Chain A
Amino acid sequence: MEEIKPFEFKQCISILKSTGKKAHNLRSLREVAASVSDESIFHHTYQYFLKGHILEYTNDFAHWAGEGLEERALAERLSNIDPYDFYNVSELRKELLGVMDDYLNNFPEPREAMAGDEFYFNETVTFTFPIGLVVKNLAEFLIAVKYVDTASLYYHFYEARIRLGIDDFSAWIDQVLGKRELAAKIRGIDLFMHSVEGIREHILETIEDEVKRGMEAIGG
């Protein structure tokens, strides 16, 4: 019998590092966003999901536009940018700058942020490590997903899309377990509409259904 390639859970943890740059209005945000490191753009967009947040925004730029500058329309437009639509950070950066430019050209100049509410550009130092959890079938996978830290779910479900263009979970379920339909369901969970905890619940529900159906089929 062919050996099944097990799924190894990993996790990433990021430590914040300051770039020393900040913006106090939309113009300076645009200016710094144009020149700051790729790592900083990456942190403020992709890694937004690692933080606890309300489902109103999808990246730090949108969050600041909404809460710091109180420019709702700009916040909505920035939130609509899906970072996973882009092949690399420079494409994503171009899109962010385009939205900011368009807003600056067509709307009255937004106000300055209050002192202390400026946008601080950060980047991260990231550590990736296996968490000592290896599973070989769907039932084990289900239990693991229930108990791993949110940072592990982030690593496999969000971050993997940047590395591989696809999340690790559905890739394994499809390619190793051969459950194409289930993989498609998991892949179809909308990243933007849930917190990482919400994603956990959806994955669990989807897999529980599948496991139950499998058990019923065996029971006849």
Chain B
Amino acid sequence: MTSIAKPRIEKHLLRNKLGLTLRDYEGGMSTLCAGCGHDSVTAALVRAFYELDLEPHTAAKVSGIGCSSKTTAYFLGQSHGVNAVHGRMPSIATGAAAANGNLHYVGVSGDGDSLSIGLGQFCHAIRRNLNMLYVVENNGVYGLTKGQFSAAADYGSKSKRGEPNPHTPIDPVKLALTLGATFVARSFSGDKEQLVPLIKAAVMHKGFALIDVISPCVTFNDHAGSTKSYAHTYEYYHRAVHTDYIQPSEEIKAEYKKGEVMEVELHDGSVIALKKVDDDLNPRDRGEVLAYLSHHEAQSEVVTGLLYIDEEKQDMNARNKLPPAPLNTLPYERLSPGAATLADLQKAYC
């Protein structure tokens, strides 16, 4: 646990297009264990928002309960945040997004929060294509209650005391694919190079964007025999898709060979460039992605990258025909039908 406050020396820091430094996107001090994967995800979120040139207060953070859920206090200190009850962050995000769809909703959850107590809400937020970034910081274990297996723990993966997990896991990525999610990615807290552009793309995607981040628990699940340890993840790491996020004003600078890159244009005009490692993966075809995942998982591989994207499906607010002006800004005059209408409509009740 870090206990020394960071000095604010901003003079020499780089500034983004808004003139803000990375520090403007940071939050409170982390109280997680030193070396926790979650702190790397927090840093990637800070970097992504900084690079997106977004005003910090246009984001709203939501989370549930658990180590991962605590992290919303550690980034975007100038944004509102809700640390809700266990597993119920998606419902808070749903109501908040309905009230104002113009904010960037960032949900941070864990495998305990999302795949057990919150599995229902997680699934239904996907069904509704709620416009938010939903990060699952996945370590296969309950940290705050000291090391119980989570529903994401792999079959046979060993606990710190050496007991193998007797149950089959719930895989948020495959689950999201079957539920019709419109942006499905997996990454690793130790791969910032991959994670930052993924977060940027997910924030700008109009719809539910899941990033399942393998984020090892150094205290309870980083031992030999665990399939969610740093060592295991590095050993079986498989980058299936390389993702670049290009903002609307930017030119595509990277050198891509024709045919090997798939460009996906997002609603705001930005572009995601997907460079596949393998030919047998089509991020536009759910069935293919599921087959690809099954094939590589059989070899214990951790498949990462932006695995599936669909920019066509309407998000929840569009499905509900919500106006561009947020509901929370509508003046009362537009909401009340007035006294004359009340008198008139009651004729049907006489």
Partners in one complex: no
Which residues of chain B have a CB within 8 Å of any CB of chain A? none
